[in-house]
Structures are given as C-alpha cells and as structure tokens.
C-alpha cells in the first residue's frame, strides 16, 4: 500500500503523462526531419520510434537502429532497441527525470539520428 501512496502523493501518474508528452512531441518533430522514422509510439513515459528503409518503404531497418544506438552511446546516452525486427528505439525515462535532463537526452538522440542517418550515402539520398 505504501507504494500506491507514494505514486499518489508524488503525482507520478501525471508525471508519466508529462514526460511522455514531451518525448512524443520531440519524436514527432524528428519524424518530420528524418524520413527513416516510420512512426512514433508511446504510452505514458515509455515511447519509441520505428525505423524503416527509405521514406516510402515500410521495411524495418534494424541496421539503422543499431547505428543510432551506437552513436547515442558514443555521446553518453544509453538506449535500447526492441520490436520483432529490432527496428524500434525504445525510450523509458525515469519519472523523476528533471525536464532539463530529458531535453538533453532528446538532443543527444537527435544528434545520434543525424550521425547514423547521414553515415551511409544511400540514406542521404532517401
């Protein structure tokens, strides 16, 4: 019961929605910038973006997802991939994350996407 009390007194359900809204807003903006993002998903503070090959193709791009994770790690951001085709970058921030740290993490993700997407000439043309 104490756990439920903490969830209620600290407003963690509302915080999950606020964190998720910030992440989805930023991920949707990235989807407009990068045609390799097939869609953005999310429930509360758990969000993800699905990569695809090319702007019209719906084929999963696990290779690009792996490259995004590698570039993110090089910048100090640890991310996970998931999905049956390993082409989803999964974000699950702690509910206690300060807004500035969340923004910094999303900036690092955007930079990793730019690095990974631009690293192959076939992607630069897509």
For the domain spanning 2-125, the CATH number is 3.90.1150.10
pLDDT digits (tens, 9 = 90+) for 45-58: 999 999 999 777 78
For a pLDDT cut of 90, what percent of the chain falls above it?
A: 83
- Does the structure show a pLDDT above 90 at 123? no
Residue 23: pLDDT band with limits 50, 70, 90: very high
Q: Does the CA dihedral 43-17-12-81 come out positive or negative?
A: positive
Cα–Cα distance measured from residue 15 to residue 8, given in angstroms and rounded to the nearest whole number: 11
């Amino acid at each position: 019961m104490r756990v439920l009390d903490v969830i209620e007194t600290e407003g963690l359900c509302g915080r999950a929605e606020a964190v998720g809204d910030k992440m989805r807003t930023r991920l949707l903006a990235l989807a407009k910038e990068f045609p390799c993002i097939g869609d953005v998903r999310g429930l509360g503070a758990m969000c993800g973006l699905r990569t695809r090959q090319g702007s019209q193709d719906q084929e999963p791009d696990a290779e690009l997802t792996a490259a995004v994770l590698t570039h993110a790690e090089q910048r100090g951001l640890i991310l996970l991939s998931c999905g049956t085709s390993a082409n989803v970058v999964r974000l699950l921030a702690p509910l206690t994350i300060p807004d500035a740290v969340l923004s910094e993490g999303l900036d690092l993700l955007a930079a990793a996407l730019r690095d990974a997407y631009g690293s192959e000439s076939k992607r630069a043309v897509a």
